[in-house]
Structure 1
Amino acid sequence: MAMMIFGLLIGIVVGGVLAYFYAINSTKSKVQKMIEDAQSEASSIVKTAREEEKKAQERSESLVKQAQEQVSSMIAETSKELKSRREQLDKLEQRLSQREQQLDRRMDSIEAKEKRAEQKLQLAEEKLKSAESFEQEAVKKLQEIANMTTDEAKQFLFSRLEEELKEEFGEKIRTFEENFKEEADKKASELIVSAMQRLTTEKPEDPVISVVELPSEEIKGRIIGREGRNIRTFERITGVDLIIDDTPEVVVVSSFDPIRREIARRTLEKLIIDGRIQPARIEEIFAKEKDAIEQEIVEAGDKAVRDLGIREMNADLKHIVGQLKFRTSYGQNVLSHSVEVGFLAGMLASELHLDTQLAKRAGLLHDIGKALDHSIEGSHALIGADVARKYRENPVVVNAIASHHNEVPQESMYAVITQIADAISASRPGARRENYAAYIKRVQQLEEIAKEFDGVESAFAVQAGREIRVIVHPEVIGDNEAFALARDIAKKIEEELIYPGQIKVTVVRETRVAEYAK
């Protein structure tokens, strides 16, 4: 048994040794194989590296070649540019050389001119000295001949110079005025004619009649009443004066208030038609006519605003506009005139591309002060401006009202348009009339104003006082001075007279020579 166990142990040991050697041999073969694989892979890597190195060398050679070509190209371009720069520098040097030569020639010319100028200056100084000595001798001779002192001679020369300057100034004024008037008249005529052609209105007539015709002389006694009872009641209620004189079949109603006068006139006419002239009846008819006139005023104001197409006007202001229906100026109804001015102002504003609404408001309201000037002291233009300002009218409209008679400066084109439209409406044929006494007085004042100026021989008002012709002494007033004289006369007429439309001033200067053959 022991032998078996020993043999088994020996067998185990021998098997282990054999297994160990087998394992060692097997490991060696694996290691050998790994070494061979590594050597093969290393050979492949070396081969690849050599190929890459070859390719890199080829690329570097190609890049070097390209760089050499670029450098050669840049060198060629640089050389070409340097050559061009050298050529430009050569040309600049040539130009500078030519300039230097020109400057040298100019310097020589300037030096020559300076020498000639010095010579001329010396010659001028010599002539000046001789002229001064000649002047002194001439002054002495003039004093001896004319017996004039130096101050008198200066005064004489100054007066001559003043006359020459005045003549030259007159000539320049005449030229300027001719050019300016030609252009201004042409443009203004186009605008005004265009506006007037678009407006057709009836001739305004005076609706306010202060004279009441009676059917017979007996009515005068009934109007006066027993012990003057009826006439006193009539004057107290109506607020007017009733004038009953020797004029046959006529009674005159007198009042500064045109509305009161119209109410009184209508009341008296109704009383005459009714035949019952007594205090109670006077009060009854007066109340009815007063209401009727009030209604007419409201309707007239509304109609004027509506006809002009004006929007949003204060009711109290429209009421004042309606009162103008019973107010006249030089025989022209003020409301009709104001509506006409509104239309003209709107047309002129349209031609000038301005606000037609604003222009129409200014035109309609420009004479609104005439509805109140009988009760408020002052100019109707300024009164009207205050009223418009009170009712918060546009400041442009307020200025147009205040300045349409040049009482305040005009601040906008609307003020100028309003003044022009007012002049057109007032001065067109048949628009206005004035009484004979006022006409004669205005004509006399025109002639007197013109005769106040020096050099005026005579003056005549012609064309119903719309032109003043001034005859001057030709030896005192020259052609150019005549322009200044006409302007001065026109300015003085504007300052001192009140008149409708415009007045033309014509200065006539002529020299007449007569000789007789015997």
Structure 2
Amino acid sequence: METTTIISIIVALGLGFIAGLFISKILQNKKGSTIIKTAKRTAANRVKAAHKEAESIKKDKILQAKERFIELKAEHEKVVLAREKKIVDVEKRIREKESQLASELDKNRRLNKEIISKQKDYDYKLEFLEKKQVEVDKVHKRQIEQLEVISGISAEDAKADLVKSLKDEAKSDAMSYVQDILEEAKLTAEQEARKIILNTIQRVGVEQSIENCVSVFNLESDDVKGRIIGREGRNIRAIEAATGVEIIVDDTPEAIILSCFDPVRREVARLSMHNLVTDGRIHPARIEEVVKKTEKQIQQEIVEVGKRTVIDLGIHGLHPELIKTVGRMKFRSSYGQNLLQHSREVANLCALMATELGLNPKIAKRAGLLHDIGKVPDTETELPHALLGMQWAEKYGEKQDVCNAIGAHHDEIEMKSLYAPIVQVCDAISGARPGARRQVLDSYIQRLKDLEDLAFGFSGVQKAYAIQAGRELRVLVESTKVSDDKAAELSFGISQKIQNDMTYPGQVKVTVIRETRAVNVAK
């Protein structure tokens, strides 16, 4: 502010100086004394006014500076007082903390003294107990030595005998407990399971027909046989080449036998023969034409059969390729059982059993119909039919429950839903019934022999017979080597061995027979 006052004074002096120059210039030019005098008076007045204004500004600035100084001094004093108050508070807290630490230090010192005292007592007691333990061990050792002298056996032998006795007793008790549990489970679970299965089977009754590898084509008269054979057998050779079916013309009156393991090719040959005989024109060119036309008809029939099947079963939304696969099952057989009839029966059984168990019958029926689609592949594959069918079902958008039931019905994969065991059980019901399927004689005899050999692998077995078409195994044991308790254990062990090591349809009942004979001779 003083700087502003000085500047104002300088400006006033400058103005006066400029006015003086102006006046002197006027005097030099001699333009009139009146103007000069007036200018001088004006300049003097302005200088006086400037001095007065400068003094007034100076006084104001000095007053403002004093007031500002007083304000700054008051603020500084407030800050100093606040800092002094904080210092006093900090010193007070420090004194309190020092007092608290001192009391805790005294307390810790007392606790340390008590701990040291207790540690000394503990060491003394521990030393005393160790001495007593040594004395007890010596007394125990002397007692064991005395017992060994009295009994005549060592402690290790006595311990081994005791362990063996306890082990045999525990094993016998465990077998008894297992048998009780199994019997109790059979009285409840097996009764209910049989009820469900029997109700399901009773509600589905179908006729069983065994598929053969031959078909009989009936003729109106034996004269037609010569036309079918043709000159030097050219017609019959053309039919066999076009269809891949062996044609047997023998002395059977009014009949020709068509032999082929493939039912589709056998059906093509049968329909072709029917068309040729009806038309009357039988020669190689006509034969090839009729066979090609018949093959197209068979493919259309496959699709129609698939559609009729899914409509009859009430299955909706099935992919067209799966429908075609279902139709092809009509011309396939499994162990002599028609595959389509088997799949339809399994589908109905699954639906009924799922209803009994409170599950969705539509999903069960779908899985039952599709469970064997892997048996009708377009090309040969080494993949098991259950896994192949599961891949097809996944490819054509079937649900996970259906796919898992298809893949797991022969235990190739883990069962992840309740529909999988239902399909497995219904498949066994349909296929394992007497007359439903037939096995090759050699494999059947070998399976019975394997059952008997498995029983001879157990100790004490004297004789073993597989009866009831391999569904029961009767085992005769030596009474001197196998007790009554051991007989039950042996029956359980043989059944588990069969379950783990052999593949068989249905169930195998194991019966162990123990006979005691007392023989004397009267002379």
Superposed displacement of residue 401, structure 1:
0.8
Match of residue 407, structure 1, among 399, 412, 415: 412
After superposition, what is the alpha-carbon deviation per residue over 1:304-363, rounded to whole angstroms, capped at 9, x for unaligned?
212221121111101101111112222222211111111111111112211111111111
* CA gap 1:247/1:466 in 2 versus in 1, 3 angstroms: farther
Q: 1:311 aligns with which of 301, 308, 316?
A: 316
Paired residues of 2:330 and 2:340 also in contact (CA < 8 A): yes
Query: SS of 2:194's equivalent?
Result: helix
Correspondence 1:434 to 2:446: no
Return the offset for 1:380: 1.4
Paired with 1:285 and 1:424, the residues of 2 have a C-alpha distance of: 42
SS at match of 2:511: strand
Pick from 142, 145, 148: which aligns with 1:133? 145
How much is the aligned-residue C-alpha RMSD, in angstroms?
Answer: 3.7
What is the total number of aligned residue pairs between the two structures? Answer: 385
| Change over 3 Å in CA distance of 1:413–1:156 after alignment to 2 | same
Aligned counterparts of 1:437 and 1:322: Cα–Cα separation in 2: 32
Moved more, 204-213 or 452-461: 204-213
> 3-state SS of the aligned residue for 2:424?
helix
Match of 1:242 in 2: 246
Q: 1:39-50 counterparts in 2 under 5 A?
A: none
What letter corresponds to residue 148 of structure 2 in structure 1? Answer: Q
Q: Which residue of 1 aligns with 2:260?
A: 254
Offset, 1:445:
2.8
Matches within 5 A, 1:250-329: 251=257, 253-255=259-261, 257-268=262-273, 271=276, 277-329=282-334
Measured against aligned partners, the alpha-carbon deviations of 1:96-118 in whole angstroms (never above 9, x if no partner) come to xxxxxxxxxxxxxxxxxxxxxxx
Q: Contact 1:208 / 1:327 at 8 angstroms: preserved in 2?
A: no
Deviation of 1:173 after TM superposition, in Å, equals 2.0
Q: Is the 8 A contact 1:245 1:251 kept in 2?
A: yes
Q: How many angstroms does 1:506 deviate by?
A: 1.6
Cα distance in 2, alignment partners of residues 268 and 496 from structure 1: 49
Shift in Å, 1:130: 7.6
Distance 2:306 2:419 in 1: 22
* Residues 1:187 and 2:187 are matched in the alignment: no
- Given the alignment of the two structures, is residue 371 of structure 1 paired with residue 397 of structure 2, yes or no? no
Shift of 1:230: 4.3
What's the CA shift for 1:482? 4.2
Tell me whether 1:511 sits opposite 2:515 in the alignment.
yes
Note closer, same or farther for the CA distance 1:461–1:125 as it changes in structure 2 (3 Å cut): same
Q: Distance in 1 between matches of 2:171 and 2:251?
A: 61
Which deviates further from its counterpart, 505-514 or 157-166? 157-166
1:210 is aligned, of 196, 214, 220, to 214
Deviations 1:107-147 (A, max 9, x none): xxxxxxxxxxxxxxxxx9999778623542266x358xxxx
Distance 1:511 1:333, change over 3 A: same
- For residue 466 of structure 1, the aligned residue among 461, 467, 471 is 471
Matched-pair contact (CA < 8 Å) for 1:362–1:400 = yes
Partner of 2:131: none
The AA in structure 1 aligned to 2:414 is: P
Task: Give the aligned residue type for 2:145.
Answer: S
1:390 is aligned, of 384, 392, 395, to: 395
Cα offset for 1:400? 0.6
Partner of 1:347: 352
Q: Closer, same or farther in 2 for the Cα pair 1:225/1:469, shift >3 Å?
A: farther
Give the partner amino acid of 1:447. Answer: E
Q: CA 1:465 to 1:292, structure 2 compared with 1: closer, same or farther past 3 Å?
A: farther
Shift of 1:504: 2.0
1-structure distance, mates of 2:455, 2:472: 12
Give the CA deviation at 1:441: 3.1
- CA–CA distance in structure 1, aligned partners of residues 370 and 482 of structure 2: 45
Distance (whole Å) between structure 1 residues aligned to residue 175 and residue 509 of structure 2: 17
Shift in CA distance, 156/328, structure 1 to aligned 2, threshold 3 Å: farther
Q: The residue matched to 1:509 in structure 2 has which SS? A: strand
Distance, in Å, in 2 between the alignment partners of 1:261 and 1:318 is 22
Equivalent in the alignment of 2:367:
362
Write the deviation string for residues 236-295 of structure 1: whole angstroms up to 9, x where unpaired.
432x3527598977645234x442333234434655676654322322332233233223
* C-alpha deviation, 1:367, in angstroms: 1.2
The corresponding residue for 2:459 is 454
Residues 324 and 487 of structure 1, relative CA distance in 2, 3 Å threshold = farther
Distance in 1, matches of 2:483 and 2:340, equals 48
**CA contact 2:211–2:336 (8 Å) conserved in 1:** no
The separation in 2 between residues aligned to 1:165 and 1:277, in whole angstroms, is 84
Opposite residue 377 of structure 1, the aligned amino acid is E
Deviation, structure 1 residue 417: 1.1
Percent identical among aligned pairs is 41
Q: CA deviation at 1:158?
A: 5.9
Q: Quick check: 2:372–2:386 contact (8 Å CA) kept in 1?
A: yes
Verify the 8 A CA contact 1:253 1:264 in the aligned structure 2: no
Q: Relative contact order (alpha carbons < 8 A, sep ≥ 6): 1 or 2 greater?
A: 1
Q: Tell me if the contact between 1:459 and 1:469 (Cα under 8 Å) persists in the aligned partners.
A: yes
Contact 2:208 2:436 survives alignment (8 Å): yes
Q: Distance in 2 between matches of 1:478 and 1:373?
A: 58
Q: Which moved more, 1:257-266 or 1:399-408?
A: 257-266
Q: Is the Cα–Cα contact under 8 Å of residues 473 and 509 in structure 1 kept in the other structure?
A: no
Distance across 1 between alignment mates of 2:457 and 2:428: 28
Distance in 2, matches of 1:426 and 1:291, equals 32
Task: State the AA in 2 paired with 1:254.
Answer: C
Q: Secondary structure at the match of 1:392?
A: coil
1:503 is displaced (CA, Å) by 2.8
Q: Single out whichever of 409-418 and 219-228 deviates more from structure 2.
A: 219-228
Letter in 1 for 2:393: A
Does the CA-based 8 Å contact 2:245-2:265 persist in structure 1? no
